[in-house]
């Protein structure tokens, strides 16, 4: 990490309060002991795609699904929001929500490609930001003494976990599309953090039944070193898009133990996607010093957090 990152700790801490971290399912050390990924749990995660594999058109379509989460439930049910119309082949299934934390997400399917989409809403109101600043110490999820999560993000996800499990099982896998076992989890901002936790948890909930992808936008750091290290055991494919100098991916601070999961895709430039430069970063280091981590704190931008893949994220 660059030397100036240490001096930026207080600045970052003032921007985002950090919740106490809590246990997460990452109890596994067999990848450091020569065992195959997931062998101990009876499921196998396929080898991640080539690090150079970044499909812009596919990522734009996932971005539309991510940003649709900012739209009203009514427009989602009718699939009539602006983002919905950009991906008309996707069929709405249902929502998950919690009034206390204002956590909100929806599930949809693409019957043609047999894909299930799970999209989480980012921060658009005061309760959401309270979640970001929460200091509640969350309970253990499973016996996982090493991996730790930001408790505010974890708490928000737990509020909709059971709803999501039931929705996927009853309305998708045993309902609308039993063969829709490829699951793409997405979100922007706080929604991206929830998506990151959800993607890992889906392996716990459904085992080897699913092929799980995480494609998200402007994700804050969500867990510690052990969380980052063990993430590939649970999630088959990950692309974490960071737009230019977006401030949110630099929070919570690296210096207090939080780490990003791989693989970052750093987009630079303004305007539509054909004007953007995309850099696929390290497949082994979520804190690639040649990508967004190279941005000095004085250049961090809130505005860059509001536009991804050439689209204003919260406009429905």
Catalytic residue ranges: 189, 246, 305
Question: 268: number of CA atoms within 13 Å, CB side?
Answer: 11
Q: Is the dihedral of CA 175, 180, 181, 184 positive or negative?
A: negative
Pairing outcome for strands 103-110 and 115-120: antiparallel
For 133, 253, 299, the CA distances from 14, given in Å and listed in that order, are: 11, 10, 16
**Within its chain, how far is the Cα of 98 from the centroid?**
19
List of long-range contacts for 253-257, beta carbons under 8 Å, 24+ apart: 253/8, 253/9, 253/12, 253/13, 253/18, 253/221, 254/1, 254/5, 254/221, 254/287, 255/5, 255/6, 255/9, 256/9, 256/13, 256/18, 257/21, 257/148, 257/224, 257/225
Query: Residue 280 has which token pair?
Result: 């696929």
3-state secondary structure of 287: coil
Q: How many CB atoms lie within 10 A of CB 167?
A: 21
User: What's the CA gap between 21 and 146, in Å, rounded?
Assistant: 11
Q: CA nearest 27: which of 38, 19, 36, 18?
A: 38
Tell me the Ramachandran region of residue 18: left when phi exceeds 0, alpha when psi lies from -120 to 50, beta otherwise: beta
Measured between alpha carbons, how far is 116 from 36 in angstroms, rounded to an integer? Answer: 27
CB-count exposure of residue 153 (10 Å: 0-12, 13-18, 19+): buried
């Amino acid at each position: 990490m660059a030397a100036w990152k240490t001096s930026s700790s207080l600045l970052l801490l003032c921007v985002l309060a950090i919740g106490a971290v809590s246990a997460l399912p990452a109890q596994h050390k067999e990848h450091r002991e020569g065992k195959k990924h997931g062998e101990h749990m009876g499921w196998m995660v396929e080898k991640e795609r080539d690090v150079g594999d970044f499909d812009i058109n596919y990522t734009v379509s996932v971005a539309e699904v991510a940003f649709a989460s900012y739209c009203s439930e009514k427009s989602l049910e009718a699939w009539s929001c602006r983002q919905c119309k950009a991906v008309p082949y996707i069929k709405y299934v249902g929502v998950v929500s919690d009034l206390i934390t204002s956590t909100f997400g929806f599930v949809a399917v693409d019957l043609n490609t047999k894909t299930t989409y799970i999209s989480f809403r980012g921060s658009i109101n005061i309760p959401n930001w309270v979640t970001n600043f929460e200091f509640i110490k969350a309970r253990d999820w499973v016996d996982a003494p090493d991996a730790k999560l930001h408790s505010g993000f974890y708490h928000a996800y737990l509020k909709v976990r059971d709803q999501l499990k039931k929705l996927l099982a009853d309305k998708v896998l045993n309902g609308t599309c039993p063969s829709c076992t490829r699951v793409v989890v997405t979100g922007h901002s706080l929604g991206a953090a929830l998506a990151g936790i959800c993607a890992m948890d889906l392996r716990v909930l459904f085992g080897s039944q699913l092929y799980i992808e995480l494609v998200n936008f402007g994700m804050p750091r969500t867990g510690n070193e052990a969380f980052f290290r063990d993430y590939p055991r649970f999630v088959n494919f990950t692309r974490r898009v960071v737009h230019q100098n977006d401030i949110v991916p630099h929070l919570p601070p690296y210096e207090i133990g939080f780490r990003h999961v791989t693989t970052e895709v750093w987009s630079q430039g303004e305007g539509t996607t054909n004007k953007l430069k995309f850099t696929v970063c390290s497949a082994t280091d979520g804190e690639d010093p040649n990508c967004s981590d190279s941005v000095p704190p004085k250049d961090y931008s809130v505005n860059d957090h509001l536009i991804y893949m050439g689209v204003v994220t919260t406009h429905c």
